[in-house]
Structure 1
Amino acid sequence: MSDMQDTLMIGTEGIKKTILHGGTGEIPKFITGAKVSFHFRTQLCDDERTVIDDSKRVGTPMEIVVGNMFKLDIWETLLASMRIGEVAEFWCDTIHTGAYPLVSKGMRRIAEGKDPVDWQLHTCGMANMFAYHTLGYDDLDELMKEPKPLYFVMELLRVHQPSEYNRETWAMSDEERLKVVPVLHGQGNKLYKQGRYEDATQKYKEAIICIKNVQTKEKAWEVPWMKLEKMANTLTLNCCQCLLRMEEYYEVIEHTTDIINQHPGTVKAFFLRAKAHGEVWNEAEARQDFSRVLDLDPGMKKVVKKELAVLSMRMEEKNQEDKTKYKGMF
């Protein structure tokens, strides 16, 4: 049976496989959602076998999620023929290698610590390429102009079945994303109560990413979009509560101001911004925000009164400190 697998694999048009180092165990199942870790080396079919990319040089293995529309789907086919620990060399004809330069560019940008998609944000990736005729790397531009057969040397490290790891948010469907939001929200709240503000912020941010992913598919300012926007804002304000505790006051002012500019009736945004302003001695701004809170929600009267008393006390203390500090100067 096992030898059959290897020869079956070669049944894919335009691929030849040579095993360089045998692996162990059965061939793992490649089901949708499985996460595959592997090292790869890409080489030209020239006399020098010129290396184009090598994940070992970068130092971290490559990871893909099966069925997640990875641009170079032939890699799934190659890896699915391998055992754990196996090293194999695949010769792939041009029909399979056309997308390689684009994929390589993304991987190189990640390795350089850049966002792999920022170059695609402004215009669609393909249009960009035709506009500039360049991917930013000479060797990839060559391959783009004239696709060639390539050698891929693969080493299969691990296959995690979907149940074995928490599926990262980018590997989820929209439905799953929305289901996971309240879970993350709850985890964040629990961590906040335990005083683990940094960890809570991470959970809230993960939930926001899920929402924003779904939101991009809706029409801006229409009902479904607004519902998602409201959810995202609630989570952002929860982040701000953590940031207040972490004494990141300017960050709080920035986030709450963004929300206020878009949604001027958000009471909690004014309240948190007022508190942050108070912490960095912006008395006038703090008072103005607290009075907006009262306009929007008169029920907050007691809380605001208490906050204003604290603010007055703090300003008084600061003025005393400043007086003594400057007294010695004159």
Structure 2
Amino acid sequence: MASEVSGVGKGIRKRVTTAGSGTLSDFRDGTKAIFHYRTVLCDQNRTVIDDSSEKGKPMELIIGKKFKLPVWETIIRTMKQGEVAEFLCDKSHVLEYPQVSRSLRRIAEGQDPREGQRHCCGGIAQLHDHSLGYPDLDELQKNPQLLIFIITLLQVQEPGSYRQDAWAMTDQEKMEAVPVLHQEGNQLYKQGKTNDAAAKYYEAIACLKSLQMKEQPGSPDWIALDLKITPLLLNYCQCKLLEGDYYQVLEHCSSILNKYSVLNMLHVNGMVHLQLNFQYVTEWPIPCIFSVCLHFLFCIV
């Protein structure tokens, strides 16, 4: 049963549609909130801009990590687990929403959220003449307006009770997580759980990529990180090959081919190593793993 509308803060109004259970968390820094969100315009048709439930995977927000859309942290702090509520937010709170939405959409599409972004020293005003790649977000960026967020708070996880995502880790935590994720991926691969293994490899790659972005391309540190990324990416491709996701494999292997000029030698090695047990794929030298991927690519019809 819906409750009366209440104020959360200046320019934010809340209406509970489904009550939550238990006590309200203190949401101290490091708490993870897992929720689905629906973003709606304040027009006559209540036009839906985004709906995370349609993408399958809910949003995960770490309290205290300075998320680009601070209003989400503000409204989440007022909710109990299991609660569903609508929040009417003044446009001053949602100016960054088009950028945030773009990143979340690209992540859901399996793309790099940073690709195509340009640095603008003047802030959001200078972005008005730059397309985000989505017409509805371009319009919202040019003409900011009130937004309604319908939030379903699925779970609240206390600090220390979960593994952080790469973006929420310190550099040291990322480096420590990589070998753990690599080993977990290997174990899942041996069990035939290629989808889960791919997720582990992808997470490890994300950790290394975020570290690599801080280095000068081509520098010794950048190259060292790239050499760590390559075998993980090949393992990821091996999983995707077995799942029949050929286009993604083509994309990643093409990017690796641009770095190496030993195609013939690798393909010959692949013909030999195809006879080996794939469960030891991550124990082979990098060229051998790469050659297996190449051999599969040549056989795709």
Fold similarity call, TM over 0.5: yes
Q: Which SS does the other structure have where 1:155 is aligned?
A: strand
The one-letter amino acid of 2:51's match is S
Q: From the superposition, tell whether residues 40 and 221 of structure 1 become closer, same or farther in structure 2 (CA, over 3 Å).
A: closer
Q: Distance in 2 between matches of 1:259 and 1:107?
A: 29
Q: Does residue 120 of the first structure (1) align with residue 116 of the second (2)?
A: yes
Q: From the superposition, tell whether residues 256 and 277 of structure 1 become closer, same or farther in structure 2 (CA, over 3 Å).
A: farther
Q: From the superposition, tell whether residues 78 and 196 of structure 1 become closer, same or farther in structure 2 (CA, over 3 Å).
A: same
What do the CA deviations read for 1:114-163 (whole angstroms, capped 9, x no partner)?
62626524x3486984444x444444333322322222232222112343
Any conservation in 2 of the 1:240–1:255 contact (CA below 8 Å)? no
What 5-or-longer segments of structure 2 have no aligned partner?
Answer: 275-286, 288-301
Task: Choose from 89, 94, 98 the match for 2:91.
Answer: 94
Task: Choose from 58, 70, 81 the match for 1:84.
Answer: 81
Q: What is the correspondence of 1:190-269 to structure 2 with a 5 Å cutoff?
A: 198=194, 203-233=200-230, 235=232, 239=235, 260-261=260-261
Counting aligned pairs with the same residue, the percent is 35
The one-letter amino acid of 1:213's match is S
Any conservation in 1 of the 2:12–2:87 contact (CA below 8 Å)? yes
Q: Which SS does the other structure have where 2:175 is aligned?
A: helix
Matched length: 259
Q: Does residue 177 of the first structure (1) align with residue 174 of the second (2)?
A: yes
Which residue does the alignment assign to 2:295?
A: none
What 5-or-longer segments of structure 1 have no aligned partner?
Answer: 1-5, 281-292, 294-330
- What's the offset of the Cα at 1:105? 3.3
Which residue does the alignment assign to 1:275?
A: 269
- What's the offset of the Cα at 1:279? 7.0
- What's the offset of the Cα at 1:185? 3.8
Q: From the superposition, tell whether residues 33 and 235 of structure 1 become closer, same or farther in structure 2 (CA, over 3 Å).
A: same
Q: What is the correspondence of 1:1-330 to structure 2 with a 5 Å cutoff?
A: 10=8, 12-46=9-43, 48=44, 50-55=46-51, 58=54, 60=56, 62-66=58-62, 67-110=64-107, 113=109, 115=111, 117=113, 120-121=116-117, 123-124=118-119, 129-132=127-130, 134-187=131-184, 198=194, 203-233=200-230, 235=232, 239=235, 260-261=260-261, 273-278=267-272
The one-letter amino acid of 1:276's match is G
What do the CA deviations read for 1:179-234 (whole angstroms, capped 9, x no partner)?
11232344456667x58594766645543332222112112333322332343346
Any conservation in 1 of the 2:79–2:153 contact (CA below 8 Å)? yes
- What's the offset of the Cα at 1:72? 1.4
Any conservation in 2 of the 1:41–1:154 contact (CA below 8 Å)? yes
1 or 2, which has the higher helix percentage? 1
Asked which structure has the greater CA Rg, the reply is: 1
Q: Distance in 1 between matches of 2:150 and 2:253?
A: 51
Q: Which SS does the other structure have where 1:154 is aligned?
A: strand
Q: Distance in 1 between matches of 2:152 and 2:198?
A: 37
Q: Distance in 1 between matches of 2:179 and 2:218?
A: 22
TM-score by length of 1: 0.61
Q: Distance in 2 between matches of 1:101 and 1:255?
A: 30
The one-letter amino acid of 1:226's match is I
Any conservation in 2 of the 1:174–1:214 contact (CA below 8 Å)? yes
Q: Distance in 2 between matches of 1:203 and 1:102?
A: 27
